[in-house]
Amino acid sequence: MPMRSSQYLLSTKKETPASAEIISHQLMIRAGMIRKLASGMYTWLPSGLRVLNKVTNIVREEMVRAGALEILMPMVQPADLWQESGRWDEYGPELLRLNDRHKRDFVLGPTHEEVITNLVKREVSSYKQLPLNLFQIQTKFRDEVRPRFGVMRSREFIMKDAYSFHLTQESLETSYQNMFRAYCNIFERIGLSYRPVIADNGSIGGSMSHEFHVLADSGEDAIAFSTESDFAANVEMAELTPSNSAPDAPQGEMHLVETPKATTIAELVEQFPVAVEKTVKTLVVKASDSCESDLIALLVRGDHELNEVKAEKLDQVAAPLTFATEEEIRRSIGAGPGSLGPVNLPIPFIIDHSVASISDFAAGANIDGKHFFNINWQRDVEPGESADIRNVQAGDPSPDGNGVLEIKRGIEVGHIFQLGDKYSQSMNCGVLTESGKHQPLSMGCYGIGVTRIVAAAIEQNHDKFGITWPDAIAPFNVAIIPMNMHKSHRIQEAANQVYNQLLEAGIDVLIDDRKERPGVMFADMELVGIPHQIIIGERNLDEEKVEYKNRRSGEKQLMALNDIVGFVKGL
């Protein structure tokens, strides 16, 4: 739809609002795309909505092309469905619960597995109706602990969620691959630099899972890439194999050292002549029922970070992973968290693979204010079980054996899961097979954060003047900027002629017919990020010419007035 700026709500701002931390949030406010209503809740203004609708249309078209059928489910859902699936108790405070006038329990839908499973259970009764893939594009609500970064992590947001239903795992895998390709098509059409990565399933359950990330420094997730292959995984999921190298031979005798001012690895390394790679951190978490102790210690090298997703998957560790309080640690170990280590540790412990292969290392003595130095496995303490429990770091070997890993930041804009029968079992959703037997269905689920894509696109496409939209999702594709249109009939005529021709050609054009100075118009059109500008001024019009300017490259060229529409149409 074309538009005249004098009849439009441009709502641009010169100043950056204080509360906006990241560039996309700042630019979305400055360019008049969104306004905050309350924490994590935003109104979409005309320019923002134009972009959002373009993204939505691409997502919808590609989903339909991939064979999915669009439906629309209620945003408010009855609590009994959530009780049936078990997530009423599992989901926690992120699930906004509310009552109707009869005091019946409802939730604001953060996702729709329950509703769709209930629907398919009622509507589908034969294997002949499978496979089936249903999707919707709809508002979700998650009561995030800390909404931030504008629509990047808001409480209310728009999501495309699709759910597929299958008789067999093979069929599920086919649909999963199909959705994988559809997602690639979507992000390619939008014009984003993205990567699919191996991901954790989290609380949604199931087995296989990929996230789609837009690469950006401001991303909240860390992604591990191989330098040599196309391996890519969320750092949460990137595995490490134990190194084959045995620890070096002990160099010195283990000895106890007074370390009153060292309660962290950083302090220890600063105050004593020990390399951080030769230190061990001891973290204490709640143990599971299968463990004889209430608590269990996890040991990682001083320069490594515990990977909570990996740790939680260990049999001996209670899920969800819960760190012991200082009080609990003192009660069972007799020392504070700053002085723990494997020697004389009264609770069971698991060491990271990388801890198993070091020698002459330093760790707490389980006595406040004291550390052991030159600890060696076997000689001084039994190493016990080792496991992969740390985050990968840049330079670690890639899990597929090719090259080493590098770490980049990403924004999660899509996530696909093979759910299996988690919901169809608990909610009794199945069909009769060919042999007349009742069988629960296999499910896949596939999400895209539609509103988040808009913010992610800006993180990837901006410069000092404002947004540099990819053509596919720009609010307008062409801006006409007439100089002194209100004093010159020639300019007015030329501008309107170009405007009408573009209108007829079906191009999204915005003509800036405000009575503003040129500088104001240029600045606004660049802030809003319209990819192509046509500048019409007296000087060039004397020669029947206008100027074309590319927003992204800044390139300008003079063109004949009569050629400009054809030129723009060809872009």
Partner RNA sequence: CGGUGAGUAGCGCAGCUUGGUAGCGCACUUGUUUUGGGUACAAGGGGUCGCAGGUUCAAAUCCUGUCUCACCGACCA
| DSSP state, residue 386 | E
Q: How many CB atoms lie within 10 A of CB 47?
A: 27
SS3 state at 354:
helix
Quote the radius of gyration of the chain (alpha carbons, Å): 29
In sequence order, what are the residues at sequence separation of 6 or more whose Cβ sits closer than 8 angstroms to the Cβ of residue 458?
Answer: 23, 24, 27, 28, 467
Nearest-angstrom CA–CA distance, 287 and 278: 27
**Smallest distance, RNA to C-beta of residue 90, A:** 9
**Smallest distance, RNA to C-beta of residue 146, A:** 4
Instruction: Give the nearer residue to RNA in terms of CB position, either 278 or 415.
Output: 415
Nearest-angstrom CA–CA distance, 282 and 284: 7
Instruction: Give the nearer residue to RNA in terms of CB position, either 201 or 354.
Output: 201
Of 568, 398, 387, the residue nearest 479 (C-alpha): 568
Where along the sequence are the contacts to RNA (CB under 7 A)? 12-15, 17-19, 21, 38-40, 92, 94, 110-111, 140, 142, 144-149, 157, 159, 201-204, 220, 308, 320-321, 415, 417, 447, 449, 465, 483-484, 487, 517-520, 522-524, 526-527, 535-540, 547, 549, 556
Residue with tokens 């709809």: 138
CB 116 within 8 A of CB 73: yes
**Smallest distance, RNA to C-beta of residue 271, A:** 24
Instruction: Give the nearer residue to RNA in terms of CB position, either 379 or 486.
Output: 486
**Smallest distance, RNA to C-beta of residue 279, A:** 20
Structure tokens at 312: 């939680």
Instruction: Give the nearer residue to RNA in terms of CB position, either 373 or 417.
Output: 417
The CA-based angle 513-514-518, given to 5 degrees, is: 95
Instruction: Give the nearer residue to RNA in terms of CB position, either 356 or 541.
Output: 541
**Smallest distance, RNA to C-beta of residue 225, A:** 20
Q: Rounded to a whole number, what is the distance in angstroms from the first to the last CA of the chain?
A: 18
Instruction: Give the nearer residue to RNA in terms of CB position, either 111 or 357.
Output: 111
CB 538 within 8 A of CB 485: no
Of 180, 304, 299, 307, the residue nearest 238 (C-alpha): 307
**Smallest distance, RNA to C-beta of residue 334, A:** 25
Instruction: Give the nearer residue to RNA in terms of CB position, either 237 or 362.
Output: 237
**Smallest distance, RNA to C-beta of residue 252, A:** 35
**Smallest distance, RNA to C-beta of residue 52, A:** 16
Instruction: Give the nearer residue to RNA in terms of CB position, either 144 or 303.
Output: 144
H or E element: which one contains 533?
Answer: strand 532-536
